[in-house]
Amino acid sequence: MSDLKPARVRFAPSPTGRFHIGGARTALYDFLLARQTGGQFILRIEDTDRKRYVPGAEGEIMESLRWLGLDWDEGPDIGGPYRPYRQSERTEFYQQHAENLVARGHGYYCFCTPERLSQLRKQQQKLKQPPRYDGHCRRLDPEEARGRVADGESFVIRFKTPREGSTTAVDLLRGPITVENSTLDDYILLKSDGLPVYHLAAMVDDHMMKISHVFRGSEWLPTFPLHVLIYEALDWEQPIWVHLSIFLNPSGKGKMSKRDAGVNEIYVLDLKQMGYLPEGLLNWIALMGWSYDDRTEFFTLDELIEKFSLQKLHPSPAAVDYKKLDHFNGNHIRSLAPDELADRLRPYLKMEGLEVNEGILQQITPLVQERIRTLDEAADIAGFFFHKTVEPDPSELIGKNMTREESIVATRRSYEVIESLPTIEVEPLEAALRVLAEEMNLTAGQLFGILRIAITGQRISTPLIESMEVIGKQEVLNRITRAVDLLESQAER
């Protein structure tokens, strides 16, 4: 464990859509810092924007985090000392603090109607001025304003941004960012329906929940000074702010991997469906904004917990490189124990409608382990093991640069050679077939090419000889007989 103080970090997604890799990266960094320092990782649902609320989104967030193995210590489902953890259940706190800002002279009631505001916006557009509140209600006498509120007039609470001076906000990755206060708006903090906007709700919660580090997307940089001003207005101690780099869409340049084609692959559960391991995904996103050194690229979650450091985070945009993801995923697949990999493969094989025989699954797992980059590829290269028969395309049974007749002879001879072997273990089988190829003046590639189609029905499969051993001598002979028949019936036509 590091010598840093136990960190309290929160992941605060809005349930406004599907859960994507950007959110997963933020959650990962939160989790890493919490685990490394022996602190807490908190899940807070920021659902105050009812217009953008998407039913089911919260469930997808939790399912994704659980699948990734990023378990939280406090959250809406499990509670915790600072409950509730869903902002829609915390309205009274936001109202209190908005009132508090008004009482301290850092906020004010605003009664401007939507019509007046839209009029104002139009005017500003015409004059090519930035859209900004003109301070109409800022000038109201506080007593009078209070009276209007008491009378039931509709109002919002705005932040009373200082007109003079400047504000410096310090981001861990970028250093101090200073803005002139005159460029900032009097932002609405509490809406007329009594619900807070992000700028209020998140600050109140981070303070109340004793958050030590705020990791969030760099889209919050423009309003970062406002957040600092709110902290200052309430005399609160600021957390350490970390704005994470943006993601660049994969460029159209270079060879596109098959995963580049769609748009859905940024969603965590879609990537799961596509056969990525949580380990591969975590490794990939960990390095989109953080690095350990120039060389090390393979990390397990435990290694990330150990090696993660705030100093190595960087603000440069992260390229979403799916080839890298495939690469990491393949590495993580190869590092799983075969039993573990078999467990992971099973649901993907079933998804393809295959009836999974456990004995065969155990036997083929080591064969696919070296060859797949995603779990769904196992069905492509090894699905045939679970079929009783294969249906080779007769034209594919003709060997490379060979005639049909030569292919028939080669297939028949293979039958004889295999039949004569007491067992078909890999070594004697391979040796015998190589001798046969030589005798027939064929390359091993030519002969194995025919046999691969005969035995597996496909051009790309698990290694041929090993696959034959798994399938067993009798079934191998049956398939070769069938291949001869297919070749001969073609020849007769």
- Tokens linked to 156: 């919002």
Residue 470: count of CB within 10 angstroms of its CB: 19
Stretch that binds ligand GLU, among 8-16, 69-77, 129-137, 361-369 (CB under 6 A): 8-16
Stretch that binds ligand GLU, among 10-18, 59-67, 121-129, 229-237 (CB under 6 A): 10-18
SS (H, E, C) 436-479: HHHHCCCCHHHHHHHHHHHHHCCCCCCCHHHHHHHHCHHHHHHH
**12/98 with CB nearer ligand GLU:** 12
**86/332 with CB nearer ligand GLU:** 86
Stretch that binds ligand GLU, among 6-14, 158-166, 366-374, 385-393 (CB under 6 A): 6-14
The gap between the terminal CA atoms of the chain, to the nearest Å, is 74
Of 270, 273, 271, 291, which Cα lies nearest the Cα of 281?
A: 271
Indicate the helix (H) or strand (E) that contains 159.
strand 156-159
CB of 272 to ligand GLU, least distance (A): 21
Residue 289 backbone zone (phi > 0: left; psi -120 to 50: alpha; other: beta): left
CB of 277 to ligand GLU, least distance (A): 26
Among 202, 233, 437, 447, binds ligand GLU (CB under 6 A): 202
**227/373 with CB nearer ligand GLU:** 227
Residue 279: count of CB within 10 angstroms of its CB: 22
Stretch that binds ligand GLU, among 11-19, 62-70, 102-110, 229-237 (CB under 6 A): 11-19
Enumerate residues 100-159 that contact ligand GLU by CB under 6 A: none
Indicate the helix (H) or strand (E) that contains 167.
strand 166-171
**216/479 with CB nearer ligand GLU:** 216
- Examine the residue annotation and report whether 473 is marked as an active-site residue of this protein: no
**12/471 with CB nearer ligand GLU:** 12
In sequence order, the 6+-apart residues with CB closer than 8 A to the CB of 389 are 479, 482
Enumerate residues 27-46 that contact ligand GLU by CB under 6 A: 46
Q: Are 415 and 480 in contact (CB under 8 A)?
A: yes
Residue 439: count of CB within 10 angstroms of its CB: 10
**12/470 with CB nearer ligand GLU:** 12
Q: Please tell me what DSSP assigns to residue 295.
A: S
Among 7, 12, 27, 483, binds ligand GLU (CB under 6 A): 12
Q: Are 89 and 192 in contact (CB under 8 A)?
A: no
CB of 46 to ligand GLU, least distance (A): 4
Rounded Cα distance, 299 and 307, in Å? 9
Q: Please tell me what DSSP assigns to residue 423.
A: -
Q: Does 13 contact ligand GLU by CB under 6 A?
A: yes
**12/364 with CB nearer ligand GLU:** 12
Q: Are 414 and 452 in contact (CB under 8 A)?
A: no
Geometric angle at alpha carbon 141, from 136 and 143, rounded to 5° = 135
CB of 451 to ligand GLU, least distance (A): 56
CB of 189 to ligand GLU, least distance (A): 15
Enumerate residues 203-222 that contact ligand GLU by CB under 6 A: 216
CB of 373 to ligand GLU, least distance (A): 31
Parallel/antiparallel/unpaired status of strands 156-159 and 107-110: antiparallel
Rounded Cα distance, 490 and 484, in Å? 10
Among 7, 8, 9, 14, binds ligand GLU (CB under 6 A): 14
- The active-site residue, picked from 5, 122, 258, 312, is 258
CB of 31 to ligand GLU, least distance (A): 14
Of 133, 132, 313, 100, which Cα lies nearest the Cα of 203?
A: 100
Rounded Cα distance, 424 and 472, in Å? 7
Q: Are 435 and 421 in contact (CB under 8 A)?
A: no
CB of 104 to ligand GLU, least distance (A): 23
Q: Does 47 contact ligand GLU by CB under 6 A?
A: no
Q: Does 20 contact ligand GLU by CB under 6 A?
A: no
Show the binding pattern over residues 414-453: x = contacts ligand GLU (CB under 6 A), - = does not. ----------------------------------------
Q: Which residues pair with 182 in a beta bridge?
A: none
Total of chain residues touching ligand GLU, rule CB under 6 A: 6
CB of 205 to ligand GLU, least distance (A): 9
Rounded Cα distance, 328 and 58, in Å? 28
Rounded Cα distance, 76 and 81, in Å? 11
Rounded Cα distance, 238 and 230, in Å? 10
Catalytic residues: 258
User: Which positions touch ligand GLU (CB under 6 A)?
Assistant: 12-14, 46, 202, 216
